[in-house]
Amino acid sequence: MGEPVADSKTPAYVALAMVIAGILITVAKNGLVHGSVLGGIIAACGAIPACIGMWKGIQQETQGTLAISVGAVLLSLAVGAVLIVLGIIHWIR
Protein backbone atom coordinates (compact mmCIF):
# COMPACT_ATOMS: atom_id res chain seq x y z
CA MET A 1 0.00 0.00 0.00
CA GLY A 2 1.01 3.62 -0.47
CA GLU A 3 1.14 6.45 1.96
CA PRO A 4 -2.13 7.22 3.78
CA VAL A 5 -4.21 10.09 2.47
CA ALA A 6 -4.62 12.93 4.94
CA ASP A 7 -8.02 13.06 6.64
CA SER A 8 -9.53 16.24 5.25
CA LYS A 9 -13.08 17.50 5.36
CA THR A 10 -12.16 20.49 3.20
CA PRO A 11 -13.66 19.09 -0.06
CA ALA A 12 -17.00 18.58 1.70
CA TYR A 13 -16.90 22.15 3.00
CA VAL A 14 -16.12 23.40 -0.51
CA ALA A 15 -19.16 21.47 -1.76
CA LEU A 16 -21.36 23.06 0.90
CA ALA A 17 -19.99 26.49 -0.05
CA MET A 18 -20.94 25.81 -3.68
CA VAL A 19 -24.47 24.86 -2.61
CA ILE A 20 -24.75 28.11 -0.65
CA ALA A 21 -23.34 30.08 -3.61
CA GLY A 22 -25.92 28.49 -5.92
CA ILE A 23 -28.73 29.41 -3.54
CA LEU A 24 -27.44 32.98 -3.20
CA ILE A 25 -27.23 33.37 -6.98
CA THR A 26 -30.78 32.09 -7.28
CA VAL A 27 -32.07 34.48 -4.62
CA ALA A 28 -30.26 37.44 -6.18
CA LYS A 29 -31.42 36.64 -9.70
CA ASN A 30 -35.06 35.52 -9.49
CA GLY A 31 -35.92 34.73 -5.94
CA LEU A 32 -35.76 31.29 -4.42
CA VAL A 33 -39.27 30.27 -5.51
CA HIS A 34 -38.51 30.83 -9.20
CA GLY A 35 -35.23 28.90 -9.20
CA SER A 36 -32.24 29.43 -11.44
CA VAL A 37 -30.52 27.14 -13.89
CA LEU A 38 -27.14 28.79 -13.25
CA GLY A 39 -27.54 28.54 -9.48
CA GLY A 40 -28.61 24.92 -9.84
CA ILE A 41 -25.60 24.06 -11.96
CA ILE A 42 -23.24 25.65 -9.45
CA ALA A 43 -24.94 23.84 -6.57
CA ALA A 44 -24.87 20.51 -8.43
CA CYS A 45 -21.18 20.96 -9.29
CA GLY A 46 -20.55 20.85 -5.55
CA ALA A 47 -20.83 17.08 -5.92
CA ILE A 48 -17.40 17.05 -7.58
CA PRO A 49 -15.34 18.15 -4.55
CA ALA A 50 -17.62 16.11 -2.30
CA CYS A 51 -16.77 12.98 -4.30
CA ILE A 52 -13.10 13.78 -3.80
CA GLY A 53 -13.81 13.98 -0.07
CA MET A 54 -15.55 10.61 -0.26
CA TRP A 55 -12.51 9.13 -1.95
CA LYS A 56 -10.24 10.56 0.75
CA GLY A 57 -12.52 9.17 3.45
CA ILE A 58 -12.44 5.73 1.86
CA GLN A 59 -8.67 5.82 1.46
CA GLN A 60 -8.11 6.89 5.06
CA GLU A 61 -10.94 4.66 6.31
CA THR A 62 -12.43 7.50 8.35
CA GLN A 63 -16.16 7.37 8.79
CA GLY A 64 -16.53 11.06 9.67
CA THR A 65 -15.03 12.36 6.44
CA LEU A 66 -16.92 9.78 4.41
CA ALA A 67 -20.26 10.55 6.08
CA ILE A 68 -19.93 14.32 5.68
CA SER A 69 -18.89 13.90 2.05
CA VAL A 70 -21.79 11.56 1.24
CA GLY A 71 -24.18 14.08 2.80
CA ALA A 72 -22.59 16.88 0.78
CA VAL A 73 -22.97 14.90 -2.47
CA LEU A 74 -26.64 14.21 -1.79
CA LEU A 75 -27.31 17.81 -0.74
CA SER A 76 -25.51 19.23 -3.78
CA LEU A 77 -27.41 17.06 -6.23
CA ALA A 78 -30.78 17.60 -4.53
CA VAL A 79 -30.47 21.39 -4.27
CA GLY A 80 -29.07 21.62 -7.79
CA ALA A 81 -31.93 19.56 -9.22
CA VAL A 82 -34.60 21.58 -7.42
CA LEU A 83 -33.13 24.92 -8.52
CA ILE A 84 -32.79 23.77 -12.13
CA VAL A 85 -36.31 22.34 -12.30
CA LEU A 86 -37.80 25.49 -10.73
CA GLY A 87 -35.76 27.63 -13.14
CA ILE A 88 -37.02 25.68 -16.17
CA ILE A 89 -40.62 25.86 -14.95
CA HIS A 90 -40.27 29.63 -14.47
CA TRP A 91 -38.69 29.96 -17.93
CA ILE A 92 -41.53 28.01 -19.59
CA ARG A 93 -44.21 30.16 -17.99
- Reading the chain (93 residues) residue by residue, the pLDDT tens digits are 455 555 578 999 999 999 999 999 999 988 888 899 999 999 999 999 999 999 988 888 888 888 999 999 999 999 999 999 999 999 898
pTM of the model: 0.86
Look at residues 54, 47, 41, 55 and name the one whose alpha carbon lies nearest to residue 15.
47
**Under 8 Å between Cβ of 87 and 34:** yes
Task: Report domain extents, the chain.
Answer: 10-92
- HSE at residue 12, side-chain half, CA atoms within 13 A, is 20
**Under 8 Å between Cβ of 76 and 46:** yes
